[in-house]
């Protein structure tokens, strides 16, 4: 089974440019999460979707960040315009929300390392 797939794995861009990160969750999972990891702040949740609907975007740093999930097998995280402080590793994770009990273990993708010059 393929795990969570993210692309690109590395992205280098210049300040002011638009950046789009992509994620394909594990087939059958109904929740998707976007995280950002930096040395200073560790691993932070940015936004998560349940059944393609954004549930909590309180972690999104500002209006320059937006995320979409047009269908169950694809999500994007967009930064426009990008700034050097956005440099980080961005992870996508997915899980299966249990109905009637159980746990919803999250499985992470390999990440996208973003560098904004």
Partner 1 sequence: DAKTTQPTSMDCAEGRAANLPCNHSTISGNEYVYWYRQIHSQGPQYIIHGLKNNETNEMASLIITEDRKSSTLILPHATLRDTAVYYCIVRVTGNQFYFGTGTSLTVIP
Q: Which residues here bind partner 1, judged by CB under 8 A?
A: 4, 42-43, 45, 56, 89, 91, 93, 97-98, 101-111, 113
Of the two residues 49 and 91, which places its CB atom closer to partner 1 in the complex? 91
15, 28, 52, 95 from 72: Cα distances, Å = 31, 8, 6, 12
Q: How many Å apart are CA 98 and CA 38, to the nearest integer? A: 31
Of the two residues 78 and 113, which places its CB atom closer to partner 1 in the complex? 113
Of the two residues 68 and 113, which places its CB atom closer to partner 1 in the complex? 113
Beta carbon of residue 13, minimum distance to partner 1 (angstroms, whole number): 19
The contacts of residue 111 (CB under 8 Å, 6+ apart) are: 6, 9, 37, 89, 90, 91
Q: Is the dihedral of CA 39, 42, 46, 49 positive or negative?
A: positive
Beta carbon of residue 111, minimum distance to partner 1 (angstroms, whole number): 5
Beta carbon of residue 90, minimum distance to partner 1 (angstroms, whole number): 10
Beta carbon of residue 61, minimum distance to partner 1 (angstroms, whole number): 16
């Amino acid at each position: 089974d393929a795990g969570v797939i993210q692309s690109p794995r590395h992205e280098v861009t210049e300040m002011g440019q638009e950046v789009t990160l992509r994620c394909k969750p594990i087939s059958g999972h109904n929740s998707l999460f976007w995280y950002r990891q930096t040395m200073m702040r560790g691993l932070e949740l940015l936004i998560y979707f349940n059944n393609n609907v954004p549930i909590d975007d309180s972690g999104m740093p500002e209006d320059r960040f937006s995320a979409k999930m047009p269908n169950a097998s694809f999500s994007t995280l967009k930064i426009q315009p990008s700034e050097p402080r956005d440099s980080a590793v961005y992870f996508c994770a997915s899980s299966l929300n249990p109905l009637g009990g159980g746990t919803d273990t999250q499985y992470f993708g390999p990440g996208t390392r973003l560098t904004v010059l």
